[in-house]
A and B are shown apart, each in its own frame.
Chain A
Amino acid sequence: MWNEQGTVGSDRSQTFAEVVEPEIEVMLRVAYSLTSRHADAEDLVQEALLRAYRALDRFDGRHPRAWLLTILRRTHLNMQRRTRPDLVDDWSVLQGHRPAFGAATTASSEQTYLDATLPTQLVRALRELDPRFRAAVLLVDVHDLSYAEAAAVLGVPVGTVMSRLSRARDRLRRRLGPDVLTQGGSS
């Protein structure tokens, strides 16, 4: 434990900041996928950070991101019970999606193709997925979380994440078809 090693003690707050600061962005991204509004996401992360700070003595120092995402998920569940018991989804990511390549400065033929064709079909295909499958795809493919981190967010074993991810991708791939997926020249 950190206390026993003297890592957490008088410099507890500094240690907390060092552990947490690199993870704030990913916490916000995931929080936004769990809530429907940016303001809610920020509130959720702040509450989760407070809980993490209070629980720091119980953190073993390994896998800080997974630890923080687990706290984030539990905090989200608690906040939902208090305020919005009907909302459990990642829909904000899809509802608010911008046209592809919003940050791009040059338009390749691939970008032009995807911008014009794929997003609509992709979003439609995502909407048709079981929400549990969709969440796995969004966390791993869009938010770039590892299997273990996604498992921490979803509160399921890593094997379950892998299974849902595999099924989700296969369904998306089949739904979109090889022509749509590879016509733009992406590889």
Chain B
Amino acid sequence: MKQSLRQMLECRWSARHVQRYLDADPSASLTPQEVQRLEEHLDVCARCTQVVQEHRALHHALTLTLGPTSLPDEDAVDRLRRFVAGLDEEGPPS
């Protein structure tokens, strides 16, 4: 009983931290202790491991499904680079 309660609490804690773990964003990174705690839990919890796999699959699908369309066309990038270079040549605009 005590064991299952601890497991349940760890699952809740894991659910609250798993996205920060996967994103590893510099403004909200987990501490090394938190990373260790999460990874130790994932080693023994199939359900939370499944959640991690689903998050990874979702990110993968979003990137592959929608990512290519968001690539800007090279001509537009070149035109904007020339615009910036024009500022260089002409000095500050009025």
Contact = CB atoms under 8 A, between A and B. Distances in A.
A100 B17 CA distance: 30
Interface residues of A, number: 61
B53 to A, nearest CB: 6
A38 B56 contact: no
A107 interface: no
A137 interface: yes
A43 B80 CA distance: 9
B64 A17 contact: no
Contact of B63 (A102, A141, A184): A141
A29 interface: yes
Interface residues of B, number: 44
Classify the interface of chain A: helix, strand, loop or mixed: helix
Interface string B52-92: 01111111111111111111110011011101110111011
A137 B56 CA distance: 13
6 contacts: A24-B77, A38-B72, A53-B87, A119-B65, A169-B55, A186-B56
Which 7 A-B residue pairs are closest in the complex by CB-CB distance?
A28-B72, A13-B88, A181-B57, A141-B62, A186-B57, A119-B65, A100-B65
Interface of B: 19-20, 23, 25-28, 50-51, 53-73, 76-77, 79-81, 83-85, 87-89, 91-93
